Amino acid sequence: MNREAIYAAIFALAPSGFVTKSRKLVLWDDVKAAQMPALFQQQHDETVKGNGNLPTTITGGVTWWLYVHEDTSQSLVPSQILNPLLDEIQAAFAPKPGPWPAGAQTLGGLVSQCYIDGTIETDEGYLGELSIARVPIHFVIGEPRS
């Protein structure tokens, strides 16, 4: 397992439509409107399961934080900028046609599978000209088991 390669490969899947991209999380109050749309990757804990006779399974993940800004004097609402970016992100992690696991996103063979799992939280511009989304991304190395 090469953790740095895994987290770098996840980050490399970020669409090109962002002005700012970083693996260091910055709070939205510290990101200027001219730096948006912005994407930040936040790394999370890993869970390791093994019991001697079975292969070890490792699960981990990141959260992608997306910030977009839209001047309210324009005719767009922030979610109209955010939604296409979310569509591109979902497409990057979607399974490709074919039998599993052949179609799974494997980050070029670094993991067994990498996928979006959980609630994609958005605020629909409740912060005025700013809209934020939180995308939970998980990976598995080995065979998942309970």
- 101-115: per-residue pLDDT in tens? 567 888 988 998 999
Residue 4 parent element (H or E)? helix 3-12
Amino acid at 44: H
Bigger pLDDT: 74 or 60? 60
Question: Degrees (nearest 5) of the Cα angle 124, 87, 85?
Answer: 65
pLDDT of residue 146: 46
For residue 89, pLDDT beyond 80: yes
pLDDT in tens, 17-40: 899 999 999 998 899 999 999 999
Q: How many CA atoms lie within 13 A of 31 on its CB side?
A: 25
Q: Give the bridge partners for 103, in sequence order.
A: none
Closest residue by Cα to residue 146 from 47, 33, 42? 47
Bigger pLDDT: 55 or 122? 122
Would you say the pTM of this structure is higher than 0.85? yes
For residue 130, pLDDT beyond 90: no
The span from the CA of 121 to the CA of 95, in Å, is 22
Q: Give the bridge partners for 47, in sequence order.
A: 59
pLDDT classification of 42: cutoffs 50, 70, 90: very high
φ, ψ (nearest 5 deg) of residue 4: -60, -40
pLDDT of residue 133: 94
Closest residue by Cα to residue 122 from 76, 64, 71? 64
Residue reference for tokens 């999380």: 25
DSSP state of 129: T
